Structure 1
Amino acid sequence: MPRILFVEDDPEIGQLISNWLGRHDIEVLLESRGDLALARALAERPDLVLLDIMLPGQDGLSLCRDLRPRFSGPIVMLTSLDSDMNQILSLELGANDYILKTTPPPVLLARLRVQFRQQGQLSPVAAPSTPPQRLQFGRLRIDGPGRDVRLDGSSIPLSTSDFDLLWELACHAGQIQGREALFRNLRSRDYDGQDRSMDVAISRLRRKLGDDPHNPTRIKTVRQKGYLLVPHAWE
C-alpha cells in the first residue's frame, strides 16, 4: 500500500482527504506544521509528499526546495492558491505536480496514482475485459442487453436501478461488494455512511427474487463489508 505524508494545517481538510485516500488503499500520514515536515519525511520515507503552500513554521514552497535534494519520491503541491506564478515556482523548485484544492477527489486520486505508477508503486491498470452478455446461476437467468431477468422461466419485472444493482452483484457473484463500491459504480457518488437506500434496494431485490428477507441465502449481507450474491444458491 503506498504511503503519503500530507502536510496540511487545516485539520478538517486533512481528515477529509486522508479518509478519501484511505478508502482507496493509500495510507496517509498527517503533519500540520511545515517546520516539522522535513524531518518526518526523512524519518518515515513516504512514497509521496503532498504539500499545502500556506503552512505554519515553514511555507510549502520553501519546504519543497529543502526537501527535493534529500527526497527522491514525488512531491505534489495541493493548495487553494490558483496562481500561475506559484505553479511555475513550485515546479521549478522540484514539485512533480500542482493541484488545486477545488479539484474533485476522484481527479486528485487519479493524479496521485499517476505519480505512483511513474515511481513503480502501482501497476498500470489493465485493459477491461469484455463484459458478459448473459449470466445464469441455476434457475436464475439474467440477460444484460435485453435487461431481462427470469427465475424458473418466469419474467421478474425490475426497475432500471434494481436491474443495475442485480447485474452489478451478478457480475461479481461470489465476491463481496461493499456499499462504497456500489455507490460509486451505480450512483457515481461516495457512500456517506448514513444513506440506507442501498439496503432498501437489496431488500426489494430479495423480495422479488424469492429470497427470505429474514434469513437470506441468495443475496447475503456480510456484516460491515457489504453484499454477496451466492452463485450456488439458485439451484
Structure 2
Amino acid sequence: MTTNKILVVDDEPDITELITLYLERDGFDVHSTDNGEDAILLAEELKPDLIILDIQLKNLDGIEVCKKIRTDSGVPILFISCMNDDTDIIHGLTVGGDDYMTKPFSPSQLVARVKAHLRRQAVIDQSKTVIVVEEVLTFDGLVIDIPARTVLVRENEISLSTKEFELLVQLALAPNRAFPLDDLYTLVWGHDSMGDTRTLMVHISNLRKKIEIDPTNPLYITTVRGVGYKFSLKEGNTHVHR
C-alpha cells in the first residue's frame, strides 16, 4: 500500500511540528517548509497527495502559492489560517483551495479532514468522477459530460475546479431536488461540515459566476430559502444520453 505524501506549509514551527506529529502517527509521509517559494518547488518535486497551506506566510502568501500550484496541479489544498475572516477564506477558496480550517484547530480533526479529502481524491482518480455514471446531461445552454469531466456553457467549454464540477453534477443529477447545505457539503467534501458551510457557499458562488448569464439571478443553481440549493429545471429542458 502506497503511503500518501502530505506537504505542510506553515511558518509557525510549533504548528508544523504538531501537524507533522499527528499525520506521521497515522502513517503519512510528511514534508514541510516555512515559506511559499519553497512550497511551490516542493509541490512540483514531491507531487504530494495533499497540501496543507497556511494563508499567512512571510515571503509569498498562501493565496499566491495556491495560484501557482493550480496552474498545473489539481492536488487537494486545505487552507489553514489564524484569521477567522470571511474575506481571507473566500479569497483562498476562489483561487483554488478545496477546504479550510481556522486556527486553533483540533489536530485529530485536521487528520480526519485530510483522510476525507484523500478518500474523495482516490475515487476521482479511479473513476474520473465522484459519481460513477456514464452520462451526458443536456440542458438549455448547458451540457455536462460526466465521463469526460467537461462542461459547455452556450457551446463554450469552461474550466471548473474539482469541487465545482462535483457540486454541479450532484445537483444536476437530481434536478428540482432541494439539497440542505449540510447534506450537500457531506456529499461533495466527504465529511461533516461541523455547522460551517462557508466553503460550500463560496464554491456555489464561483460556480454561478462561470455558468450563469446573471449570477445574481441564477437560472440553474437556485437558492431554496431556509434549506440550501437546487438545480432548477423546467419541463422538457433536459435529456440524458447514456
Q: What's the TM-score once normalised by structure 2's chain length?
A: 0.48
Higher relative contact order (CA 8 A, sep 6+): 2
Is the radius of gyration larger for structure 1 or structure 2?
Answer: 1
**Given the two structures, how large is their TM-score scaled by the length of structure 1?**
0.50
